[in-house]
Every structure is written in C-alpha cells, then in structure tokens.
Amino acid sequence: MRRLLFEDDAQFWFETLRLFGHASYGGADFGEVLSTASRITAGDYDGWHDAWLATAERVAAEAAAAQPISARDGFLRASTYFRAAEFFLHGTPADPRIDYAYRRGVECFDAAAARIPWLEPVEIPYETTTLRGYFYRAPGPGPRPTLVMHNGFDGSAEELHYFGALGGHERGYHVLTFDGPGQPGAIHRDGLVFRPDWEQVVGPVLDFLLTDPGVDPARIGLLGVSLGGVLAPRAAAFEPRLAAVVAVDGVYDGSSVFTGLLGLERAELERRARAERDDEFDELIAAARAKSPVLRWACDHGRYVMGAPTDRRFLAAYLDYHVMDGIAERITCPVLVCEAADDLFFAGDTPEESEPRRLYRALTGPKRLSSFTAEEGADAHCHAGAQRLAVGRIFDWLDATL
C-alpha cells in the first residue's frame, strides 16, 4: 500500500495507518487522525506526542460532557489517541509523559467500558500479582466458545477492542483480553518485562477463565497479534487446553526483523549480540539506527519492554522469541496463520521466506494460511487499515474450527 503520509518514514506511516484502521470499530475517526497526523513532522517524537496528546485531551473533554452513547464513543477514541501520544517516548523510560498518557488512556477506555453492560475489566491472578484485562460476555444461555486475546511487542489490551474483541462479541463469543509481561498494563503497574516462555503466562489466564461456568472448556481459542504471532503458538505448544490458535501474523523466528535490518545472518547476530563486549557491533547498531526509523523505534521500545540496558542487550534477549527447535511441531490443535503481503517487519527477502510461511511449514497438525493483499488494502503488518476484513476471516475460521 502506498504511503499517503510520512513517505520517508515507514514507522510513522504504519502507526498512522494503524490509527486509521481503528475507525472500523469506533476507536478513531478518520478526520481526527488525518488532521492530527498532518500537523506532525516525520521523525519528530516530541511533535508526535504533542499533537496526539492535544487531540486526546480535546476528545476526552468533549466526551466527559456528552450524553451516554456519545460519551462512550468519545472515550474510546480518546483512549486510542492517548496511547498514540506516548508510543514513541519509550527510549527514555523515566519520561513522565509516558505514564501520564498511558494512565489517561486507560481511564478513558474504562469510562467507555462502564457504559457497555457486557464489558468488564478483570484482574487475572499471576504469580505474586495480577494481569489487567477485559472480559466480553456473550449474550444468551449455555457454555459459549471463548477467544483469549493478547497483543504483541507494543500493543495493549485496550487496543484489542478494535482488533477482534468487539467483533467476537458480535458473533456470540466470550472474549478475554489481557496484558501479559512486557505489555502496557504489566509494565506500567508492576514493571514486568517480556518473557519468551509464554505458556507460563497463558496457563494462569486459562485457570482464571475456566472458573466461569459460562465458558465451554472444549472450545477455547487463543489469538496473538504481531509479536503475539510467535507468543501464542509458543503457548499452544505446551498448553493442551487450547482448541485453536490464531497468529496475526505468524512468526517463526522473531529475530528475523533484526537480521534483515542489520544485514546479518542469525548465527552472527546471536554471537555478536551475546558477546560480553563488541564495540564495533555497537557502532554498527548506532549507524543502522540513524538510517532506519523502524530500527530506531524498535530498539528504543525494545529496551523498555525487555528491561535491557543497551540496544545490544535488547537484541540478545529478543533472540529467544521463536518456535524453532521442534517447538512449532509440538502444536496439535488447529492453527490459523495470517500473512500480510507487505509486512513492515516479517516479510522476509522473498514470499516463501516470510515469517508466516516459515511458521506454516513447521506446523505438523491441522493448519491454514490466510494471505492478505494490497488489492484488499490489507497487506500491512497485522492488516492495519483492514480490520473488518481481517476480523471477518478470522472468526469465520474459528466458527468452522470450534
């Protein structure tokens, strides 16, 4: 898809397209996104923050004075814009603007949820704390199929409202969304950083879910978005209670995004990232950051969510996010692998080397590959900008599978 804004900054354009896409389920308005983005200079993180914060505050103030339905809609949009405001600030974790915008975004989403009778904030017991999430209760009697959803490297449980949670509720599913370690709720509240053994996260979530008598224990699916496209399959390899898994989009080896950006083979990236010291490699990363908006953002955010002191230590930690070495082959439940034709992060050098296709080939159980194209307006990472299309295909597969 051609970039309509930020032509020389793929990361700024993708985040803008992502915001446009949330309009499909009420998480943004096209004109608000276009007007705000038009005031921003590519690569200006402070300017991005200031523009989105101003829009968020304006929309939230109007929502606070509105009638119930208008208030619900306004708070949902404001929540999205507050999330956008702090998105590029994570290279300096102590920046007070991060916590302020995150807190205001959650407040706005919860204010909207309070006006939606079937949507309930939940606290899921996890180790010595809890994970924040939301339960979307389907109408009607009897045990229902349930979809558990989590985001990926940078998304939130609140954002999942537009990535499929609302769509699932419309189709008669219970939906449980949550933020795991490394994701916004867990980072902001408890400082919990990412962990690769995601089955240790999904297990407690399923324990919590199965205390609800309205949940059919034989019909539980798990969906992961973005980096969740490797986390969800990883969990399914070790969690027998799952009846289906959706990877949006599929990832076999998360480190491929950095082998591509740095021009290194995986073995060399691993050797150099995990070295006790490699000044030349540190300089290579710094030079690549200066040229690539994607790498600049990914390293800044990666240090934040992995608890890494340097870019090199972040890259070393990120190497553990894969389903290689026989892990994918352990999955026995049906898997839907989604693929974006022009994925910003996981497209690979050729279509056959895309991360979704590598994952698909490794799976030995029931599986389907669903490709999304430019002609459909759905070729961007996680089908940003085509959420109605993607949600429809995913739930049609879940209907047939569960």
What is the DSSP track for 227-258? THHHHHHHHHHH-TT-SEEEEET--SBTTHHH
Please identify every residue annotated as catalytic. Answer: 226
pLDDT band at 119 (very low <50, low <70, confident <90, very high): very high
Rounded CA gap, 15 and 13, in Å?
5
Q: For the chain, where do the domains classified as CATH 1.20.1440 start and end?
A: 10-111
Chain mean position to CA 38: 25
In which residue ranges of the chain is CATH 3.40.50.1820 found? Answer: 119-254+321-401
- 349 pLDDT higher than 80: no
| Residues 261-295 pLDDT 10s | 999 999 999 999 999 999 999 999 999 999 999 99
Tell whether domain 10-111 is in CATH 1.20.1440. Answer: yes
Would you place residue 347 in the very low, low, confident or very high pLDDT band (cuts 50, 70, 90)?
A: confident
Write down the pLDDT at residue 83.
98
pTM equals: 0.96
pLDDT digits (tens, 9 = 90+) for 372-396: 999 999 999 999 999 999 999 999 9
Helices (H), 29-140: 30-37, 45-64, 68-85, 96-113
- 352 pLDDT above the threshold of 90: no
Instruction: Find out if CATH 3.40.50.970 is the number for domain 119-254+321-401.
Output: no
Closest Cα partner for 369 from 335, 345, 398?
335
CA–CA distance, 341 with 390 (Å, rounded to integer): 13
Which helix (H) or strand (E) segment holds residue 125: the answer is strand 119-126
For residues 30-57, average pLDDT: 98
